[in-house]
Homo-oligomer: A and B are copies of this chain.
């Protein structure tokens, strides 16, 4: 049994038109916008065409079940169809479209599944209202306060945006599932990084999903005249930033792993005049690793480095933890199964971490998860340049299909399960 690549193409292309801005070719399907709601409607329509019965829960997650002999515990597969502003066609959407194709193939083949499989498209993964809203709702991680407080960058509340479409945000609490009702969660996603593309692998099998902490850091020095202040009398906040940027490789070498990342993505230099020694630098730090203890060590080392730099340069420093996300280990049994299936399909795969956060990270803190990556051309994502070769998409989709099939047709005598 193989996926039909033409149907995947058609679904991707159809969804890519929803929210597309012809000026920059970017897709603007941010969570709960009109385009996002239209995307959900389109997905429901595609599900119906596949003979499935779409449903929408209180968090506006769209899902459909292909029933097996037992309804529970179900295998859950999916991803999300909301986008960042000016997105490409594949981030999230590919996982949903490929999942739908898997259900279509299984339904058409008339396979009798041991258990049901459910396809889900989670709401607001990308973060218009904070991100992971749909998967957090399913995982039962929401409460009335967190729901009512969510706002987008422009101050629009999640509540008002959902009300605009006739939905009551408080019903998102009802989206929480009994987690015993789900056996595993499987997600196919583009890598959003350069590793598979550079190494010319067609699929990645994720063994760990990175955890991260982000800090907002401030160095405070003294604004001084660039001409009249001798170099040795300065308290230059920008030099503090430069020092810290240069400590990062050492901190990673001493405390991190090959999977560690640290990034200063944002920095504001004040007062920001050509002829004034910078008095203040506000900057962000984003540190990731797939091991929580390593993250702790990295955090400790960063704090020591910042404090030493501040002392050496005569600066003040302060920092605030903005976010923390626990790393998640994928289910080892699922990883082995995915590896075995990739070998059976003769795919050139890599076992690798996920450096980005995904709905699988939320679900994975509660139930066993697995993830399949397909390559991102030049590592590009969150941009109209985001792309994956159709042949790689086909490989990833066949790996998902074979994995669903082998998980849900335990009977090795099943002729279809062995029909690869």
Contacts and interface: CB of A to CB of B under 8 A. Distances in A.
Interface in A207-260: 210, 212, 214, 224-231, 233, 236, 238-239, 241-243, 245-246, 249, 252, 258, 260
Nearest to A357: B227
Interface stretch (A13-21, A270-278, A335-343, A362-370): A270-278
A269 B267 contact: yes
A193 B228 contact: yes
Nearest to A288: B227
A273 B266 contact: yes
A22 B381 CA distance: 52
A249 B267 CA distance: 22
A225 B260 CA distance: 13
B252 A231 contact: yes
Nearest to A271: B265
A205 to B, nearest CB: 15
A263 interface: yes
A233 B192 CA distance: 13
A225 B84 CA distance: 13
A58 interface: no
A379 interface: yes
A356 interface: yes
Contacts of A261: 226-227, 229-231
Copies of the chain in the assembly: 2
Interface residues of A, number: 56
A101 B286 CA distance: 60
A286 B274 contact: yes
B284 A195 contact: no
Contacts of A193: 224-225, 227-230
A226 B379 contact: no
Interface in A371-385: 379, 381-382
A198 interface: yes
A173 to B, nearest CB: 29
Nearest to A287: B226
Contacts of A192: 225, 228
Given A233-B379, A266-B273, A277-B265, A356 B225 contact: yes
A354 B229 CA distance: 10
Interface in A44-74: none
Contacts of A26: none
A187 interface: no
Contacts of A284: 274
A194 interface: yes
Interface in A332-350: none
Given A231-B261, A252-B231, A263-B277, A224 B269 contact: no
A227 B210 contact: yes
21 contacts: A193-B228, A193-B230, A210-B227, A225-B356, A226-B261, A226-B288, A227-B286, A227-B354, A227-B355, A228-B379, A228-B381, A229-B355, A231-B252, A231-B261, A233-B379, A238-B267, A246-B246, A263-B276, A263-B277, A266-B269, A266-B273
For the complex of A and B, 8 pairs with smallest distance between CB atoms: A193-B228, A227-B355, A242-B245, A226-B263, A228-B355, A242-B242, A274-B284, A227-B356
